[in-house]
Chains A and B, each alone.
Chain A
C-alpha cells in the first residue's frame, strides 16, 4: 500500500463531506468574526480594566475557534462510523494502522495549518481595533502565543478524533467535549492551579498568557494537552485494532 495514496484518499474524504470541511473553515471564520465583533465593540473598554491582560485577551475568540476545531476532529472521524462506512474504508485499506495513521495525519495537518492561520490572523485583526492599547507580534510572548494557539487548536481536533474512534459516535464526543470546554471554565473560574490546571484546555491555554501563573509553564502546559491528545489517539487505535469493524 502506498502511504501517499492513502493520505490522498483521506483528504478526499474530508473535503467531500460538508460537515468536516465546514467545521474546518469555521475554525478560522468563527474566530475572526468573534474577534472583530468583540474588539470593535468592547475592546478598548476591556483594556481599561485593572486586571487587563493584553495578550490573553487577544485570544478571547479562540474559545469559539476551539469548538469548531473539536467539531472538525469529531466529524472527520465520525463519518466512518455512519452506517458501516468503516467497512468500505477498511476494504480499500485493510491495514488498520495505515488507515488510522493517515486519517490522524490529515486531520492533524489540516487543523494545524488552519489553526496557525487562525491564531495569527485573530491576534493581528483584533489588535487593529485597539488603538493606543494595541500590541504587536514583538510584544513579550506574543509570537509564542500565536504559534502555541495554532498548535493548541490542532491538539484539540486530534483529542476529539481519538475520542470519536474510541466511542464510535460523533454525537457522544461533541456532547462531552463542547460542554466541557465551554462550561468548565465558568465553573472553575480562572483557576489554573492544582488538578484543574492539568485539564486539556486549561493546560494548553497557558501558552496564551504573557506570564502564566499556574503550576504549568506555557510549553509544559501545551505538552500536557498533547499528552491528552496522544492518550485519546492511542485509546482510539487500541479500539480500532481490536474491534470487529
Chain B
C-alpha cells in the first residue's frame, strides 16, 4: 500500500494542535500498515510551518507552495491538493475536521473519485480487505457507527481530541517542495474582503453560562450577563454561551454556540439555562467538570446529565441568585 498523507494546518502562524493529534492517528496507522506517513503543508510561504511539521517523526513533509495558496482559498486548495494526490498517490488521506478540512475534504474526495467520512472519532484498518474503518457519531451522538468505503485514497476528517497530540521526534523529517499547477481559472469564488470580528473563545472560559430555547426574550440574556458579572469576581473567566436555537433567532453570534456544530468545551462549571438538552448540545458540554441546569421542565434531558438541577423559572431564580452572590461578597 502507498503512503498515508495528512493535511497540516496552521493557527496564528504556528502548527494547529489538531494537526498534532492527526499526526498521532496517522503515524499509528502507518506503523500498523508498515507504510510511510507524510504530511502536506499548503500556502504561499510554508517554509517555517514545514519545518515545525518536520519535527514529529513523519517520513516526509510536502511543502505545497504556490502564490494562489495564500490564505485559504478553497478552490485553489482543492486544486493544489488534487494535483499533489496525482503526484504521490496516497493510500490514505486524513484531514482535521476543521474549517479547512470540512470544506476541502468532500470536494477533493469527489475529484479523486473516492469517498470521504467526516467527523471521525476513531480509525483502524480492516486486515481482511485493507480498508479504513471509520468510526463516527451519528444522530448527534445517539449512536456510534463504524463504516467502510471503497476508493483510493481512503479519506477521513478527524474530530478534535480524537487522538493525543504527537510528541516531538529526535530526527527531522525530509521536506519536499512541490509546486502545483494551479491556474487563475481554477478560482471561481473571489474573496472581496475578510471581516474580522471579535470572536469569543468559549474554550478559554472557566465558567460558561448558556441560554437556550427556553429563554423567552433576547433581553433576558441580560440576566445571564448579570450572573456572569457576579460570578466573574470569584470564578475566573465567565462567558456567555448558547444553544443552537438562540443563534437561529439571531440573538447571538455563532461563536457562542455550544454543541456539535458550535464549540465543544469542557469548562469547570457549565450552567445551562432553559436548555432542554438535545444531544447535539450535550456533545458540546458533557465533559464539563460540573454541570448546573435550570429549567422549568423536570423531565428534560439536561437534568439527566447535570450534577445540580433547579426546576423553576430562570426569571425568578437568576435575579435572586445574582442578589445572593453579591451579598456574599
B is bound to A: no
